[in-house]
Amino acid sequence: MWFMILAGTGWKLPTPDSYGTNYVGKLRKPNNTELKKLEAGNVRFYLINLPDCPPLGLESLRVDDSQIQASSYLRTGLGPHRGRLNMQAGIEDGDLYDGAWCADYKDRHQWLEVDALHLTLFTGVILQGRNSIWSWDWVETYKVQLSNDSVNWETCMNGTEEAIFEGNRDLETPVLGLLPVPTVARFIRINPQTWYSKGTICLRAEILGCRVHDSNDIYSSEQEPGSKDALDFRHHNYKEMRTLMKSVAEKCPDITRIYTIGKSYMGLKLYVMEISDNPGKHELGEPEFRYVAGMHGNEALGRELLLNLMQYLCSEYKKGNQRIVRLITETRIHLLPSMNPDGYEVAYEKGSELAGWAEGRYTFEGIDLNHNFPDLNNIMWDAQEIAADASKVSNHYIPIPEYYTKENATVAPETRAVINWMQDIPFVLSANLHGGELVVTYPFDCTRDWAPQENTPTADDAFFRWLASVYASTHLVMANPDRRICHYEDFQLHNNIINGGAWHTVPGSMNDFSYLHTNCFEVTVELSCDKFPHVSELPIEWENNKESLLVYMEQVHRGIKGVVRDKLTKQGIADAIIKVEDHGHDIRSAADGDYWRLLNPGEYKVVVWAEGYIPSRRQCTVGTEPLPSICDFTLSKTPIQRLKEIRAKGGKVPQDLQLQLRALRLRKLRSNGVTLCSVRSC
């Protein structure tokens, strides 16, 4: 980015050899291609090419409420602390959590002030209107003022005149205003000049600036937060994502495999990275795990975290990190970094601060993938209501309704691809990575009777709460009791976890579909307040989430697992039903007969049956350590099933089977009230 620097501005000009100490300090020296000295008559000026300065962190909350001041404010809920880019308002208008800073007076003397705490090279301001469904308020033009002491202010100049910056023309679109001359200061003020004629002075903002070295700053030696892991911390578009995944596969060919599960509406492939000690094959007894990110294309952090995770698992495996080696050896891991690549490309083009709150959220067709899966909840609940015995209604593997499979159904190709993926692989555990909040939600997401908010637990509510708590309690920001709430809901009241329906109802969610149509338990993780963090925030966000990502994967080994086999052939039995007594949710065995049932520690009575087999029952114990308890089952075929198979092959019925069939007929006659007697006694 090229900036013009005029002589006589009151601060030192850079030379081809160094930067002035009041200018950019710790930034690297420019080379000859980055610094141009120009002269026109008696006027001398420089053009300097500076790196794009990052946001100070109003949106990401790195800037504390105490650093934001204002000339006045309409009420507490519209105070200066609410003047953050993409701040979302609560449903109730006029509460403590409104969607902007709004001045109490409508004049040109109002301002919003930000203290950067350190000398900063300010380069720009991003402005947004007020987030509200009731009011239309935004600033149309503004001035920028700078100060080193918050007492003496200088207005940003455009040549010899005070610079007037273009603001907003609607509520949500972020508008960038670059300073004509990047200026070093500690404080910055946004001074509205005009605003929407039918509204008032309201704004949300982000400030762009690079920190400057200052020998008088007692905190100048503080280490900037980051990560020690050597990962590719940047936002990757579709092409760059493919390149990175390929590079990981080339570094770790023995444990990785890249495959696709389908294409987006615009033809972009949905790539998955598999990480396993035997990639490409389901191993008997080894659970399948998945992470899915990018369902909403503008929620970009999950995408980058999964790309980070691929690199990390590869490098740590090669180093011999025993935790990672054990995880990869005992688990088949699948990472889908971008479920909605079309939406992401739209957001990526705008950039992290300019994409706004919704740009790229939906697919190219305008479909919200978070509501696009079959609503199996109401199918199950409706069947339970009309059934004479609700316990007889199927509580798992609920089939997809016919209307959903029709060609004219509003179903995104991305959704169909993920459903096919779920049906192909016997996933046990999953998490769906989102952004814009700090909370982990668990099923059910859809409420009964379409209530807008209502706690709607599953039969496995206790274990879902455990899963959500595992991620939330190890996330460095969620676990911080002093953290600021993101927008208007304080999830710390619930230990940063919440039932999806208790937050807001989501019919057709992937979490609910996964639970009701497959064996897989799935939660949603809202990773950060900022949906699309600036590239400078990515190392910090990786550290915030690294342990959570790892420990959550390890939960796939809790509960019981085993193999359901045929007693005679010793072969695995597919689709055997595994029922835990007093748990109203069953699962089924995979193609090889192996199964995994996630459970909290305790004693459980487990019954297994399959078509044509006599049910088997046994007691299974789950310990407190994160290791599965082995609970195998051997099933014997029913006499009738054995007879059918022998007759189909034209074989001779063995004597033991003849006796079993005779005993079966006698029991049936007795149950029907028929008196049995011998020839002598009748």
Which contiguous run of DSSP H or E holds residue 121? strand 112-128
DSSP of 218-264: TTTTPPPP--SS----S---HHHHHHHHHHHHHH-TTTEEEEEEEE-
The last residue of one of the domains, among 557, 588, 621, is 557
> What is the token pair recorded at 427?
């996933």
Which contiguous run of DSSP H or E holds residue 663? helix 655-671
Question: What pLDDT is stored for residue 392 in this prediction?
Answer: 85
Contact yes or no for 210/54 (Cβ under 8 A): yes
Question: What pLDDT is stored for residue 44 in this prediction?
Answer: 45
Average pLDDT over residues 105-119: 97
Same domain, 199 and 302: no
Distance CA 123, CA 145 (A): 12
List pLDDT tens digits, range 463-495. 999 999 999 999 999 999 999 999 999 999 999
Residue 231 lies in a domain: no
List the strands of the sheet with 2-6, edge to edge: 2-6, 43-49, 35-40
Contact yes or no for 347/360 (Cβ under 8 A): yes
Same domain, 420 and 390: yes
Residue 28 lies in a domain: no
* Number of Cα atoms under 13 Å in the Cβ half of residue 339: 31
Distance CA 479, CA 463 (A): 20
Question: What pLDDT is stored for residue 125 in this prediction?
Answer: 97
Closest CA relative to residue 467, chosen from 440, 490, 445: 440
User: What are the distances in angstroms from CA 560 to CA 62, 286, 579, 595?
Assistant: 43, 12, 12, 8
| pLDDT score of 8 more than 60 | no
Distance CA 34, CA 16 (A): 9
List pLDDT tens digits, range 597-629. 999 999 999 999 999 899 999 999 999 988 999
Closest CA relative to residue 598, chosen from 580, 610, 615: 580
Same domain, 477 and 576: no
Same domain, 395 and 258: yes
Question: What pLDDT is stored for residue 357 in this prediction?
Answer: 94
Residue 41 lies in a domain: no
Question: What pLDDT is stored for residue 184 in this prediction?
Answer: 95
Q: Name the 3-class secondary structure at 535.
A: helix
Residues known to be catalytic: 526
Say how many C-beta atoms besides its own lie within 10 A of residue 659's C-beta.
11
Greater pLDDT, 577 or 37: 577
Residue 5 lies in a domain: no
| pLDDT score of 458 more than 60 | yes
Question: What pLDDT is stored for residue 32 in this prediction?
Answer: 41
List pLDDT tens digits, range 94-103. 678 899 999 9
Number of independent structural domains in the chain: 4
Question: What pLDDT is stored for residue 30 in this prediction?
Answer: 41
Q: What is the CATH number of the domain that holds 571?
A: 2.60.40.1120
Q: Name the 3-class secondary structure at 4.
A: strand
List pLDDT tens digits, range 155-184. 999 999 999 999 999 999 999 999 999 999
Please report, rounded to a whole number, the percentage of residues in the chain having pLDDT higher than 70. Answer: 85
Same domain, 272 and 190: no
Question: What pLDDT is stored for residue 589 in this prediction?
Answer: 97
Residue 526 pLDDT level (bands cut at 50, 70, 90) = very high
pTM: 0.88
Same domain, 162 and 95: yes
Q: What is the CATH number of the domain that holds 138?
A: 2.60.120.260
Q: Which residues contact 504 (CB under 8 A, 6 or more apart)?
A: 452, 453
Cα angle value 18/24/30 (rounded, 5°): 45
Same domain, 427 and 383: yes
Same domain, 269 and 196: no
Average pLDDT over residues 316-328: 98
Say how many C-beta atoms besides its own lie within 10 A of residue 237's C-beta.
13
Question: What pLDDT is stored for residue 2 in this prediction?
Answer: 41
Contact yes or no for 598/521 (Cβ under 8 A): yes
Question: What pLDDT is stored for residue 91 in this prediction?
Answer: 78
Question: What pLDDT is stored for residue 46 in this prediction?
Answer: 47
Question: What pLDDT is stored for residue 592 in this prediction?
Answer: 96
Closest CA relative to residue 182, chosen from 239, 150, 144, 134: 144
Closest CA relative to residue 141, chosen from 71, 201, 188: 201
Residue 363 lies in a domain: yes
Distance CA 414, CA 336 (A): 12
List pLDDT tens digits, range 135-157. 999 999 999 999 999 999 999 99
Q: Report CA Rg, the chain.
A: 31
Q: Name the 3-class secondary structure at 277.
A: coil
Least confident of 80-94, 166-180, 647-661: 647-661
User: Hunting for tokens 């109401």 — which residue is that?
Assistant: 378
523-539 residues labelled b (16+ CB within 10 A) or e (exposed): bbbbbbbbbbbbebbbb
Say how many C-beta atoms besides its own lie within 10 A of residue 474's C-beta.
18
Q: Name the 3-class secondary structure at 332.
A: strand
Query: What is the extent of the structural domain holding 99?
Result: 65-211
Question: What pLDDT is stored for residue 69 in this prediction?
Answer: 98
DSSP state of 293: E
Q: Which residues contact 555 (CB under 8 A, 6 or more apart)?
A: 429, 466, 467, 470, 598, 626
Same domain, 368 and 463: yes
Question: What pLDDT is stored for residue 183 in this prediction?
Answer: 94
Same domain, 542 and 574: no
Cα angle value 86/179/205 (rounded, 5°): 15
List pLDDT tens digits, range 50-81. 558 999 999 999 999 999 999 999 999 999 99
Residue 60 lies in a domain: no
Q: Is the dihedral of CA 218, 224, 225, 230 positive or negative?
A: negative
The last residue of one of the domains, among 525, 541, 557, is 557
DSSP of 162-218: E--EE--SSSS--EEEEEEEEEEEEEEEEEEEEE-TTS-SEEEEEEEEEE---TT-T
Question: What pLDDT is stored for residue 681 in this prediction?
Answer: 45
Residue 90 lies in a domain: yes
Same domain, 255 and 396: yes
Residue 134 lies in a domain: yes
The last residue of one of the domains, among 158, 176, 211, is 211
> What is the token pair recorded at 597?
């049932």
Distance CA 420, CA 413 (A): 11
Ordered alpha helix ranges (H), 397-455: 402-405, 413-424
Q: Which residues contact 379 (CB under 8 A, 6 or more apart)?
A: 398, 401
Q: What is the CATH number of the domain that holds 358?
A: 3.40.630.10
Would strands 560-566 and 633-635 be described as parallel, antiparallel, or unpaired? parallel
Same domain, 261 and 376: yes
Residue 239 pLDDT level (bands cut at 50, 70, 90) = very high
